């Protein structure tokens, strides 16, 4: 469990990490949680909630992250408990289970969703960045689910230079903008920001990526400006 100001801009979040994931992104730095969660310390939910309730005046929301939280059948019950304890809820997801996302949103169990979008929305690019075969149509469906829902949405993409070119990122931004405008509810006429995240070679799931140099911060910032322009500015 960790507390952060960065998870949900403007909110103080405590984060609960759930184990296992259905993807194998080569750059994943949480691979122990994905592959060998038994080696990590486990806390009982009731103990976590008791600790958090004592800090309720300092914490706005609880973020459930992973791994991939939607792999757990108990997720709705977990979110209900968190809501029952008086906290807002945020879910971090890789977008591979649109039906579950839709269910949680319809049940009004989420206040914010942050979804990783890993590559342009074609099967080959997605497989390269997710490390497993995954039809990109599944990710497109999750984006549509989010566009129809009124909850706050954050989209994120990790930019690993050996996996994604600049043009891949701009193509992804255009694809998100297109899907959003087809599907968005009145609440969300504008698409969400697509936040570009820096790749870290420190301890990736694929050791070969330790040799890959991340992009210069300034270069990534310029890419972020262009992505913002595609989604919200004159590039739309």
Which residues in this chain contact ligand SF4 in the complex, by CB under 6 A? 21, 23-25, 28, 30, 34, 66-68, 94, 116
Minimum distance of ligand SF4 from residue 23's CB (angstroms): 4
Question: Least distance to ligand SF4 from the beta carbon of 236, Å?
Answer: 28
Nearer to ligand SF4, 116 or 141 (CB): 116
Report the alpha-carbon distance of residue 113 to residue 100 in Å, rounded: 13
For the CB of residue 171, give the shortest distance to ligand SF4 in the complex, in Å: 20
Kindly state the smallest distance separating residue 164's Cβ from ligand SF4, in Å: 14
Minimum distance from residue 42 beta carbon to ligand SF4 (Å): 17
CB of 182 to ligand SF4, least distance (A): 26
Nearer Cβ to ligand SF4, position 24 or 174?
Answer: 24
Nearer to ligand SF4, 130 or 145 (CB): 130
User: Is 25 or 59 the residue whose CB approaches ligand SF4 more closely?
Assistant: 25
Q: How many CA atoms lie within 13 A of 36 on its CB side?
A: 6
Q: How far apart are CA 175 and CA 162, in angstroms?
A: 21
Q: Which is nearer to ligand SF4, 12 or 35 (by Cβ)?
A: 35
Compare residues 94 and 125 and give the one whose CB is closer to ligand SF4: 94
Integer Cα distance of 98 and 148 in angstroms? 12
């Amino acid at each position: 469990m960790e507390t952060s100001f960065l998870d949900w801009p403007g909110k103080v979040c405590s984060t609960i990490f759930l184990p296992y994931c259905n993807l194998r992104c080569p750059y994943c730095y949480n691979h122990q949680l994905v592959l060998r969660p038994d080696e990590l310390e486990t806390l009982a939910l009731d103990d976590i909630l008791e600790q958090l309730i004592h800090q309720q005046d300092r914490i706005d929301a609880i973020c459930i992250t992973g791994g991939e939280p939607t792999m757990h059948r108990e997720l709705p019950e977990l979110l209900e408990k968190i809501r029952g304890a008086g906290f807002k809820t945020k879910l971090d997801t890789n977008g591979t289970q649109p039906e579950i996302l839709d269910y949680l949103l319809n049940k009004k169990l989420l206040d914010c969703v942050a979804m990783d979008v890993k590559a342009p929305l074609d099967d080959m690019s997605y497989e390269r960045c997710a490390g497993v075969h995954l039809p990109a149509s599944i990710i497109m469906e999750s984006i549509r689910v989010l566009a129809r829902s009124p909850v706050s949405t954050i989209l994120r993409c990790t930019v690993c230079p050996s996996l994604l070119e600049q043009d891949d990122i701009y193509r992804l931004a255009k694809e998100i903008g297109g899907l959003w405008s087809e599907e968005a509810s009145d609440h969300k006429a504008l698409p969400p920001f697509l936040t570009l995240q820096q790749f870290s070679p420190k301890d990736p799931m694929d050791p070969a990526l330790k040799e890959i140099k991340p992009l210069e911060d300034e270069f990534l910032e310029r890419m972020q400006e262009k992505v913002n322009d595609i989604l919200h500015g004159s590039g739309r």
